[in-house]
Chains A and B, each alone.
Chain A
Amino acid sequence: MKRIVLLALAASLAACQSQSDPDLDQTGERPDLPQQSDTLLPAMKIPTPKGWDGELPTVPEGFTVTAIAKDLKIPRQMLLLPNGDILVAEGSGGHAPAVRPKDVIAGMIKKRGKSSVEGGNRITLLRDSDGDGQTDLQTTFIDGLDAPYGLALVDARYTWPTRIIWSVSNTHKALPA
Chain B
Amino acid sequence: MAETLARTRSFTNPIHAILLAFPVALYPAALLSDITYLNTAVIQWTNFSSWLIAGADVFAGLVLAWALVSQFLGRTRQRGWAYVTVVALMFIAGVLNAFQHARDGWHSVGTFGLVLSILCTILAFVAAFLAYGQTQVKEYRA
Contacts and interface: CB of A to CB of B under 8 A. Distances in A.
Bound pair (A, B): yes
A99 B108 CA distance: 14
Interface string B39-59: 000000001001100100000
Tell me whether chain A's interface is mostly helix, strand or loop, or mixed: loop
Interface residues of B, number: 12
Interface string A138-170: 000000000000000000000000000000000
Nearest to B52: A101
Interface of A: 38, 40-41, 99-102, 105
Contacts, number: 22
A38 B107 CA distance: 9
B2 to A, nearest CB: 57
Those 7 A-B pairs whose CB atoms lie nearest each other, nearest first: A101-B54, A102-B102, A100-B50, A40-B99, A100-B47, A101-B50, A99-B47
B51 A101 contact: yes
B103 A38 contact: yes
B96 to A, nearest CB: 8
A38 B110 CA distance: 13
A102 B103 CA distance: 9
Interface string B82-119: 00000000000000101111110001000000000000
